Amino acid sequence: AQSVTQLGSHVSVSEGALVLLRCNYSSSVPPYLFWYVQYPNQGLQLLLKYTSAATLVKGINGFEAEFKKSETSFHLTKPSAHMSDAAEYFCAVRDDKIIFGKGTRLHILP
Amino acid sequence: GAGVSQSPSNKVTEKGKDVELRCDPISGHTALYWYRQRLGQGLEFLIYFQGNSAPDKSGLPSDRFSAERTGESVSTLTIQRTQQEDSAVYLCASSFDRGPYNEQFFGPGTRLTVL
């Protein structure tokens, strides 16, 4: 069965610092991977998705994720954090249905 | 409308009562999902509808939970004899079809509080 593991339920970074949110997956080949974001009191929205066209995927709001098959990882990064990035981030993998990780809440420190 | 809508946005009920939660997916989306998000937790898959296929009910936590979908339109999630542990945000999502790269579009959720 496919699954995702997000390391760290809470991550705090200073404004302007690098954001790194970790996601490891377990999947049959090929994996279909997604990152979703949930801003406070809002619904989930898609940040980016891996479609096998390129291992480095760029998403909205300056986020990107790199697919590394050897590490079974799909970590989310952003070079410089903004206060508006404070939210909960979910990694997901899809088979016939999408399975979500438990989420990582990102806190931005001024 | 342009997005997935859910009603009501908030529901407060007493333990033991039945509740119905409604989801209107994006027009043309054949796949519809229900998830539960408890406070501080991730998304818990409940049920998945795809076109006219039998729904995947593997995530329903008990027989108190059921869901129906009318064709490729509205869906209703019913919780019978609610318990306090049912308190959560119930999220609905739809997607164009079951193709692997098709993203899900989420509704704003229904916040259920069982007293």
3-state DSSP assignment of residue A82? coil
The per-residue pLDDT for B14 is 97
Q: Tell whether the model's pLDDT for residue B1 goes beyond 60.
A: no
Give the tens place of pLDDT for each residue, B66-115: 999 988 889 999 999 999 999 999 999 998 876 666 788 999 999 999 99
If you average pLDDT over residues A52-66, what whole number do you get?
A: 91
The per-residue pLDDT for A51 is 80
Which of B 18-37 lie inside 8 A of A, CB atoms? 33, 35
* DSSP class of B26: P
Closest C-alpha among A50, A37, A64, A55 to residue A93:
A50
- Nearest-by-CA chain B residue for A41: B108
Tokens encoding B13: 């009920």
Give the tens place of pLDDT for each residue, B10-28: 999 999 999 999 999 999 8
The per-residue pLDDT for A31 is 79
If you average pLDDT over residues A50-66, what whole number do you get?
A: 90
Distance of CA B87 to the CA centre of its chain: 14
Give the tens place of pLDDT for each residue, A76-93: 999 999 999 999 999 998
Test mutation, B49, B101, B105, B110, chain A, max A CBs within 10 A:
B101
